[in-house]
Chains A and B, each alone.
Chain A
Amino acid sequence: MSLHAVLRGNAQTLFDNIENRFDDYFGGADNPLRHLGALGLYFLWILVASGLYLYTVLDTSIDGVYSSIDYLSREQWYLGGILRSLHRYAADAFVLVMMLHLVREWAHGRYYGFRLYSWVTGVPLIWLAYISGIGGYWITWDRLAQFSAIATTELLDWLPIFSEPAARNFLAPDSINDRFFTVLVFIHIGVPLMLILGLWAHVNRISRVDYLPSRRLMLATMISFLALALLKPALSDAPADLALVPTGLRLDWFMLFIHPLTDLSSPAAVWTLIFGATILLFALPFLPHPQTQPIAVVDAANCNGCARCHADCPYEAVTMALHPDKPGHRIAVVDADLCASCGICAGACPSSTPFRSQEKLVTGIDMPQQPVDEMRRQLEARLAPWGNQAGTPTPGKTRLVVFGCDQGADVRGLDAADTAAISLLCTGMLPPSFVEYALRSGADGIVVTGCREGGCEFRLGMQWTQERLARSREPHLRGLVPLQRLQVVHASRGDGGLLAAAVDEFRNRLETPGPQSIRPPAFSRRKIHHA
């Protein structure tokens, strides 16, 4: 195993552990670590909204730029001051969640294959965020702005891009004029607009994007910013004075860490670091990585063009086209570049029902590495010795089928004489008819487990499964299946103990006489030996 793989694995374990701990307090839907991208977008909207107000009151003259901003904090603290603080803290939080998002996606190995596009389009956004953030600090034109402007231009001057040193613009108090801040404001508006455009491209290839986090998460982070704005309002330093070197700077380390880093090393070292990191991020998808899985395959004869796979695919990899053999019908088409090989489409296909009598079950859209037919064979092989028995299970003889997820808690360890554990590519691959089929063919109860809320490797697998089992999404679980015999458990990687405890608790519940004793009618599949 390479050093990179070891590092990545350890980082993933660290993230998983922290996220699981956070789940205890926040729950999956409100866990900030599980919604870093959406949080970043939310912070960006706060920046846009607060920035619009700041723009309207900003005086871009050399004399007015400092006083117009400082006035907000000192005199109009209740509105302008709070908005200025929100602007500052939302920007810092944006950078924080952006970097965490980057590291988390890397740790989960989400940078190659079908995710290459999102990864590559995300890298320039880091540059845009920092250009916008550093430039924003200059607009206040206080000592910190002076320091950052000089340090940035000195850093830029190391590159052979200007015929004259850009730092000469800040040599003496009379070096800059009113026009400078007008240009600066336009850059500070233009670059974030490019950032928004880049973000649109970044999420362009995924469906049902979380543009905003949950309301609770938005409210809680907003309260945090407001508390900061009141307790520690963003204030300007003394006005810029180019005749003096600013000292004792209250530096924003999220945005401006690059300046001390340059002082500590050299412009050459910093540019090497910046360009090296950028090239590395771009190159990462092309470095050795785990082999990509086979993609979904459509069977024209069995695809009825219902478009459920198209609706459920989290990555818009399935589109609908005219059926080549059936005039007036449509057929699913899989885009190889976008397919995540998750199998959620197979779970959405109404033809993926094990009740079909064909010896070889061929469905409309399937995964070559784990066909639906293989799932049925595996299930039938485990159900056969159990037979069909009605009534309340005898203690110690309760037979459970556990459908799990390769990405979540490992279910294979639960496999025993009275427990059939079947692991799927993603829990979203499970057609609800398999639950009914197992219950009617000898199982006493079904456990469906997948990643924790907000932690699905393929974004929507667990959500779709729950909706299908709750009969609110097609293909839904039929009404004759008593929900008391079904248990859904959220268990991510490393949650094996939690899953085992949930299975034991469910087994005990089934063994207690009560409403859960109701069983669906027994069923034995009639087998036809042709396709």
Chain B
Amino acid sequence: MPKPAAIAGQIVLYGAFAAFIGYFSTAPTYKQIPDDVALIKLSMSHLGGRDCRKRTAEELSKMPPNMRAPLDCPRGRSDIKLVLELDGKSMFETVMHPTGLSRDGVSTVYKRFEVKAGTYQLAVKMNDNLVNPGFNFIKEAQVTLKPAQVLVVDFNPDKGGLFFQQSAANKL
């Protein structure tokens, strides 16, 4: 092949290489969720309750002084029941199991739900000790979700248990 033609061919091929790299390094653009959709992230990490028994005075007296713990608790933790409701309808319901071979670790959940932007009545109910009936933690509020907004449903005993978290300006 004549040299000018070869050089022209090289320029075209290197140009195609650069164009290929350049294009696919940023395009086509990707949308993870549609424009009018918001996200609810339900995530928590919590130790389930334990069914403890109060030791009697007689039992405590038989124990070495340094080991006289007033409660006798099993190592394993309870499963945790969790319900998420949107506008009164159940959206998600699960029973979280403790981690660890001895079932003594935290119970965790991480789920995300795509919902149309708008105002909803959001409720979360949790029972962290299934020995007891019902739910010992309930959080319910009206939330307004803007498109692409993330609302986090989490649990933190220091924050009063269940809580909703949107952007800083809309913290509930």
Contact = CB atoms under 8 A, between A and B. Distances in A.
A247 B9 contact: no
B30 A92 contact: no
A241 B148 CA distance: 11
Nearest to A243: B167
Contacts of A32: 17
A254 B25 contact: yes
A25 B21 contact: no
Given A24-B1, A249-B29, A225 B18 contact: yes
A173 B28 CA distance: 28
Contacts of B9: 24-25
Contacts of A248: 29-31
A25 B1 contact: yes
A163 B100 CA distance: 8
Contact of A165 (B14, B15, B21, B43): B43
Contacts of A280: none
Interface stretch (A73-81, A216-224, A334-342): A216-224
Interface string B1-27: 100001001100111011011101111
A243 B150 contact: yes
Contact of A243 (B20, B30, B168): B168
Contacts of A228: 18, 21-22
A26 B10 contact: yes
A163 B106 contact: yes
Interface string A251-295: 111100001100100000000000000000000000000000000
Nearest to B41: A171
A260 to B, nearest CB: 6
Interface in B22-78: 22, 24-33, 35, 38-39, 41, 43, 45
A250 B167 contact: no
Given A242-B150, A254-B24, A247 B167 contact: no
User: How many interface residues does chain A have, given as a range?
Assistant: 35 or more
Contact of B32 (A26, A147, A157, A163): A147
Contacts of B144: none
Contacts of B14: 220-221, 223-224
B6 A25 contact: yes
A92 B112 CA distance: 31
A227 interface: yes
A199 B166 CA distance: 46
A185 interface: no
Contacts of B6: 24-27
Given A165-B43, A245-B33, A247-B35, A171 B154 contact: yes
Contacts of A321: none
Nearest to A162: B108
Contact of A92 (B1, B24, B35, B38): B24
A88 B110 contact: no
Contact of A89 (B10, B22, B45, B112): B22
A168 B154 CA distance: 10
A59 interface: no
B152 interface: yes
A250 B29 CA distance: 5
Nearest to A163: B99
A246 interface: yes
Interface in A170-198: 171-173
A47 to B, nearest CB: 14
B96 to A, nearest CB: 11
A164 interface: yes
Contact of B13 (A25, A223, A234): A25
A241 B38 CA distance: 14
A186 B146 CA distance: 37
Given A165-B43, A165-B108, A254-B25, A263 B32 contact: yes
A168 B9 CA distance: 52
Interface in A229-244: 231-232, 234, 241-244
A252 B31 contact: no
Interface string A57-68: 000000000000
Given A244-B150, A251-B30, A96 B21 contact: yes
Given A165-B45, A173-B168, A247-B35, A220 B26 contact: no
A220 B10 contact: yes
Contacts of A88: 25
A168 B30 CA distance: 23
A93 interface: yes
Given A93-B21, A96-B21, A228-B18, A164 B45 contact: yes
Interface in A380-404: none
Interface string A155-170: 0010000011101100
A165 B110 CA distance: 7
Contacts of B15: 224
A179 to B, nearest CB: 19
18 contacts: A89-B22, A96-B21, A151-B32, A154-B110, A163-B100, A171-B165, A221-B14, A223-B14, A224-B17, A243-B167, A245-B148, A246-B148, A247-B33, A251-B26, A251-B29, A253-B25, A253-B27, A263-B32
The 4 closest A-B pairs by CB, nearest first: A243-B167, A25-B9, A165-B110, A250-B26
Given A147-B32, A250-B27, 16 more contacts: A24-B9, A25-B10, A89-B21, A96-B20, A163-B105, A171-B43, A172-B152, A173-B167, A221-B14, A224-B15, A224-B21, A246-B148, A247-B32, A247-B33, A248-B29, A251-B29
Interface of B: 1, 6, 9-10, 13-15, 17-18, 20-22, 24-33, 35, 38-39, 41, 43, 45, 99-100, 105-106, 108-110, 112, 148-150, 152, 154, 165-168
